[in-house]
Amino acid sequence: MSANSKTATPHAETPPAAPYRTPARLRNVALGLVIVGAGLFAWTLSSQPWRAWANGLIASYLFVSIAIGATVLVALTHVAKAGWAVVLRRIPEAMGSWLPFGLIALLAVTGLGMHELYEWSHPDIVAQDELLQHKAVLMTPNFFLVRLVVILGLWSLFAWVLRRNSVAQDKDGDDRHTRANVAWSAIFLIVFGLTVTVASLDWLMSLEPHWFSTIFGVYQFAGAFVAGCATVTLAVLGLRRAGYLPQVTTGHLHDLGKLMFAFSTFWAYIWISQFLLIWYANMPEETGYFLMRREGAWLALFASNVVLNWLIPFLTLIPRPNKRSPKILAIVASLLLVGHWLDVYLQVMPPVSHFAVEHGGDVHAHGPFLGLQELGPVALMAGLFLLVVSWRLGRAALVPQRDPYLVESVHHQQ
């Protein structure tokens, strides 16, 4: 907390900064990622289709989770009336614009790769499995895809409304938009709570259709929110380096660091809650999930997950100076994103590869895989995500111009 009330403070009425345009270099890198990624994906699809679809699911879910995490951040700043965050709000708002594209990506992957990914989509397997017959009311391919479209459609709609109201305020400066966004955010958070539970059951938990865990939706939310905060942090740091966002001070970076610190720990809390309770009760219906991820070389990745997503960020972000250093924040945010990828990978790859061994007859499907096949879809999605988000950033002022809380945000210091 700063003691000095006489510090020179910038004016609330920030002059409109130079509008953001996607730099040519960023565009070229993104296009390169798209082309290389698409090529790798096509190559994997022809050699090991199940692996292409598994990585396709990982990559499309990864960026959907980042976009929805960022949208939840926007909604939370609205309902909590968090004044400090206004100057950087356009970035998560733009990231929310990825959701309709994520809808297409996830729909394509789960629709086309369904039989490689989801055991319950095979009528012959279901016919011999009493438990899967019980679940067949919910788990049919068409109903699954309808739910996916409805859920991502709702998320896209709310992200669009929140951004539209925010941008409309730039023109008329009416407080009405802020009030509307508080109400929309509150409704969105309820819809999100319900849909994220169903979405995580559908997209990820049903990869192992016999396994169940009630905390699973909370776990997916925790991962998505950390990833959203980490991506926002990286984008803020990148834009600052390119000379944009002069209003973002060390105080804002400090807060982003605190958010990553707190929610990385929240993720670890949910992780240990799920693991400890299943380990302790040791019931065969539940332990299979962890047994599969602890056999052979998977164990190393299983342990790295907690180290990357919690231990390193936790220890690094305890000291105050580290939360205020752009360099350290960038490293931690990047680690968290790699960690988030690993987290999703560990949820998708073991069951899909087991299924490929048992039903697909691919004898090479054992053990963790880390190759170009894994990079392809992630590069493809990352390239598209960068292009879309960067384009959306350029479509409105980079800082909300007339938000009633802007005055608090530009004076924010700690």
Partner 1 sequence: MSSTASHLREPLVTGNPTLAQISDEVCAPMERKPSWMWWTAFLLALSALIAGFSAIGYQLYNGVGTWGLNKTVGWGFDITNFVFWIGIGHAGTLISAILFLFRQKWRTSINRSAEAMTLFAVLCAAIFPFIHMGRPWFGAYWIMPYPNMRGPLWTNFRSPLVWDVFAISTYFTISAVFWFVGLIPDLATVRDRAKTALRKKIYGVLSLGWSGSNRHWVHYETVYMLLAGLSTPLVLSVHTIVSMDFATSVEPGWHTTIFPPYFVAGAIFSGFAMVLTLLIITRKVLSIEHLITLNHLENMAKIITATGMMVGLAYGTEFLIAWYSGSNYEGFVFFSNRATGPYAWAYWTMISCNVIAPQVFWFKKARRNIYVLFFFSLVVNVGMWFERFVIIVTSLHRDYLPSSWAMYNPTWVEYTTLLGTFGLFFTLFLLFTRVLPVVAIGEVKAVLGFARRHPETTSQPHAVTAQPSPAAARVEVAHG
Interface ranges with partner 1 (CB under 8 A): 1-7, 9, 12, 80-81, 83, 130-131, 134-135, 138, 175, 178, 190, 193-194, 197, 201, 212-218, 258, 265, 269-270, 273-274, 276-278, 280-281, 283, 285, 404-408, 411, 413-414
Least distance in angstroms from the C-beta of 408 to partner 1? 5
Least distance in angstroms from the C-beta of 165 to partner 1? 15
> Considering only CA atoms, which of 377, 295, 276, 405 is closest in space to residue 37?
377
End-to-end CA distance of the chain: 5
Least distance in angstroms from the C-beta of 336 to partner 1? 20
Least distance in angstroms from the C-beta of 362 to partner 1? 29
- Whole-angstrom CA distances from 227 to 61, 232, 397 are 12, 9, 24
Strand, helix or coil at 4? coil
Rounded to an integer, what distance in angstroms lies between the CA atom of residue 252 and that of residue 305? 28
> Exposure of 43 by Cβ count < 10 A (0-12 exposed, 13-18 middle, 19+ buried)?
middle
- Residue 10 in tokens: 């910038």
Task: Tell me if 259 sits within 8 A of 325, measured CB to CB.
Answer: no
Least distance in angstroms from the C-beta of 264 to partner 1? 13
**Closer residue to partner 1, CB minimum distance, 79 or 330:** 79
Rounded to an integer, what distance in angstroms lies between the CA atom of residue 117 and that of residue 353? 9
Q: What is the DSSP string of 52-89?
A: HHHHHHHHHHHHHHHHHHHHHHHHHHHHTT-GGGGGGT
Least distance in angstroms from the C-beta of 406 to partner 1? 8
**Closer residue to partner 1, CB minimum distance, 163 or 402:** 402
Least distance in angstroms from the C-beta of 241 to partner 1? 27
Task: Tell me if 108 sits within 8 A of 168, measured CB to CB.
Answer: no
**Closer residue to partner 1, CB minimum distance, 112 or 215:** 215
**Closer residue to partner 1, CB minimum distance, 244 or 271:** 271
Rounded to an integer, what distance in angstroms lies between the CA atom of residue 11 and that of residue 265? 36
**Closer residue to partner 1, CB minimum distance, 81 or 395:** 81
Cα-Cα-Cα-Cα dihedral of 119, 125, 128, 133, to 10°?
Answer: 50
Rounded to an integer, what distance in angstroms lies between the CA atom of residue 43 and that of residue 380? 13
Token pair 């708002």: residue: 93
**Closer residue to partner 1, CB minimum distance, 18 or 190:** 190
Least distance in angstroms from the C-beta of 68 to partner 1? 16
Task: Tell me if 327 sits within 8 A of 268, measured CB to CB.
Answer: no
Task: Tell me if 256 sits within 8 A of 414, measured CB to CB.
Answer: no
Least distance in angstroms from the C-beta of 360 to partner 1? 25
**Closer residue to partner 1, CB minimum distance, 97 or 305:** 305
**Closer residue to partner 1, CB minimum distance, 34 or 205:** 205
Task: Tell me if 116 sits within 8 A of 56, measured CB to CB.
Answer: no
**Closer residue to partner 1, CB minimum distance, 20 or 310:** 310
